[in-house]
Amino acid sequence: MSQAMQKNDDLVMIRDITFISKAENLLPTIHQTIIKAQNIISLVNDPKAVHGWSAKVISPATVYFNQSFQTGESFIIDFGQHGVGYLSFLCDAVGSPPDAPAHIKFTFVETLGELAEPFSQYQGWLSKSWLQEHDEYIDVLPAQISLSRRYCFRYLKIEIVSLSPKYNLTFKDLEFKTVSSAPKYCIECQTQDPQLAKIDQVSVHTLRNCMQEVFEDGPKRDRRLWLGDLRLQALVNNVTFKQHDLVRRCLYLFASHRREDGMVSANIFVKPQIIADDTFLFDYSLFYIDVLYDYFMATSDHNTVKELWPIALQQIDIALKRCDEYGLVVDSDDWWSFIDWHEKLNKQGASQGVLIYCLDKAIKLSQTFQPEISSNLQQKLDFVKHAADQLWDDKSGFYISGAQHQVSYATQIWMILADVGDRNHQQKLMNKLLLTPPDIGMNTPYLRHHYILALLKVGMTKQAIDEIKAYWGKMVEYGADTFWELFDPNDLNYSPYGNKIINSYCHAWSCTPAWFIRQHSL
């Protein structure tokens, strides 16, 4: 199964105006906070720093902006924290009357490593247009400038590309107006562990910056609503901001624009109008059930869940059509399941686990909203759960996946989460995984979340805490004030997109330590 982009030109979609209207009525209030520039910095080559670069403070920003600048000069501003929002400033001329426009270039980055590599040399397979840069031409000075585009950054490089030799340029009142639909108040974390408290703080900041008009996956990229990310964001929201109406809005959005057979899309665009992307993922569509179940557990909102239950149930029916006569998910080149960013990962085994896991959640929902079908759903669950036994390999002591009998972390994790086998079997499997880790490892915080969940499920709380500290704690050690989309401690330049500068360094699926720490009282 390929991990390249899906493109489906001939899709027939269902558009539900009622659900669209309900989603629009739940549009959240956007809160604003002004962040001032903190310091002017320079890049220092540092082999111990992430991506090989650290910052050296040159001057406080307030002192530095007392001077004027001429053509060819540049400087880097550190705002002290990661934010999402809008830049404004006052520009003026010093010297003779300005007899030519001012040309200024702005480069907005989340990490220092992005500044070290010229955007012009980018060769990744995601669009270069995601890289955040802006050229401003100012014809009349002085000028109060407010950039209209929303940016996501901590560091800002300003280059004076061209002025007339007759004047210099000054900057005043440079402000970063950050935006989020998360309220300023957040439930306090109760952990007594200082390292976990810091990890929680970064997790919450990550979620806050991703909470906009929807739960965005990444405010730099892709800036839209993905189902897999929503599922994890909603969990963290339950124990932090409790903005349940935003989760409700997102559930309606996915329901509002579906494929002709009822399958929900993997992601949704909300501007200029609500439209589902033409990307459909086996696991993500099933997770609609899990999001709905968790929403019901958090809110007891009977009316909303009753309304959306038929759409959730459809995802089970569609997924079961992917199974063979023995109840096993069929592996081939014509289907898509995410699971993790890993070009070598076979998705069959993990997808079987996701199907079992979500079918179990569907049964729980059916007991409240359609009890007459609970027995039938239980039979289907027993069938696909029994089918998972076909993937057990006595020789390796692991579950296998695909025609090549691949052994991976993902398959073992999802079999445990799917509750395949008894507790003793699951504990032995996890011990085996810890002692003899497979070659096909974990590339994203997204799969790492499920690994932590599996550890907790089998009672390995200490190992779960150790893993959170070793993985997310390492990002904090590298200076992260929001958690990253991708992090391989053994390859800091890892990117599935061909270049690390296109990676997102504030990403929704990485915020879940806050949920573990709070929900499990770590």
Q: Are 364 and 294 in contact (CB under 8 A)?
A: no
Q: What 3-state DSSP class applies to 380?
A: helix
Q: What is the C-alpha to C-alpha distance for residues 392 and 212, in angstroms, rounded to an integer?
A: 43
CB-neighbour burial class of residue 393 (10 A; exposed 0-12, middle 13-18, buried 19+): exposed
Within its chain, how far is the Cα of 59 from the centroid? 34
* Residue 505, CA atoms < 13 Å, CB-side half-sphere: 31
Distance in Å from the first CA to the final CA of the chain: 38
Asked if 34 and 372 count as a contact pair (C-beta separation under 8 A), the reply is: no
d(CA 65, CA 69): 9
Confidence label for 2 from pLDDT (cuts 50, 70 and 90): very low
Domains and CATH numbers, the chain: 15-29+192-519 (1.50.10.10), 31-180 (2.60.120.260)
Are 153 and 83 contacting, i.e. CB atoms less than 8 angstroms apart?
yes
202-232 residue pLDDT tens: 999 999 999 999 999 999 999 999 999 999 9
Tell me the mean pLDDT in the region 135-160: 98
- pLDDT tens-digit map of 340-379: 999 999 999 999 999 999 999 999 999 999 999 999 999 9
Strand order in the sheet with 225-226: 225-226, 267-269, 275-276
Residues near 516 by beta carbon (within 8 Å), at least 6 away in sequence: 452, 456, 464, 468, 522
The pLDDT value given to residue 10:
77
Percent of the chain with pLDDT over 70: 98
Give the residue with greater pLDDT, 461 vs 4. Answer: 461
At residue 407, φ and ψ (nearest 5 deg) are -105, 125
Q: What is the pTM of this model?
A: 0.96
Give mean pLDDT, residues 72-92.
98
Residues 124-141 have pLDDT tens digits of: 999 999 999 999 999 999
Pairing of strands 102-109, 133-138: antiparallel
Band of the pLDDT at 1, cuts 50, 70, 90?
very low
Summary mean pLDDT of the chain: 97
pLDDT band at 7 (very low <50, low <70, confident <90, very high): low
- Quote the Cα angle for 193-229-496, to 5°: 95
- Whole-angstrom distance, CA of residue 112 vs CA of residue 452: 30
Q: What is the mean pLDDT of residues 311-324?
A: 98
- How many residues can be counted in the chain? 522
Asked if the peptide bond before residue 183 counts as cis, ω within 30 degrees of 0, the response is no
What local confidence, expressed as pLDDT, does residue 415 receive? 99
The mean per-residue pLDDT over the stretch 414-427 comes to 98
In sequence order, the β-bridge partners of residue 158 are: 75, 106
Report the half-sphere exposure of 242 (CA within 13 A, side-chain side).
Answer: 8
Task: Using alpha carbons, select from 210, 153, 152 the residue that is nearest to residue 180.
Answer: 210
Cβ-proximal residues to 158 (8 Å cutoff; 6+ apart), any chain: 74, 75, 76, 77, 104, 105, 106, 171
Q: Give the per-residue pLDDT at 4.
A: 58
Residue 439's CB is within 10 A of a number of other CB atoms, namely: 9
Structure token pair of residue 479: 């200076």
The two three-digit tokens of residue 67, written as one number? 């001077």
Task: Place 8 in a pLDDT band, splitting at 50, 70 and 90.
Answer: confident
pLDDT higher than 60, residue 48: yes
Question: What is the identity of the amino acid at 367?
Answer: Q
Sign of CA dihedral 451, 453, 454, 459: positive
Distance in angstroms (rounded) separating the CA atoms of residues 351 and 387: 12
Q: Which residue has the tokens 């099933």?
A: 286
**Peptide bond between residue 47 and the one before it cis (omega within 30 degrees of 0):** no
- Residue 333's pLDDT band, with cuts at 50, 70 and 90, is confident
458 three-class SS = coil
The yes-or-no verdict on residue 187 having pLDDT over 80 is yes
Which of 3-7, 267-271, 474-478 is the least confident region?
3-7
Per DSSP, the residues of 255-314 read HHEEETTSPBPSEEE-SSS-EE-S---HHHHHHHHHHHHHHHHHH--HHHHHHHHHHHHH
What CA–CA distances, in Å, run from 443 to 32, 129, 308, 482? 34, 25, 33, 18
Predicted local distance difference test score (pLDDT) of residue 3: 53
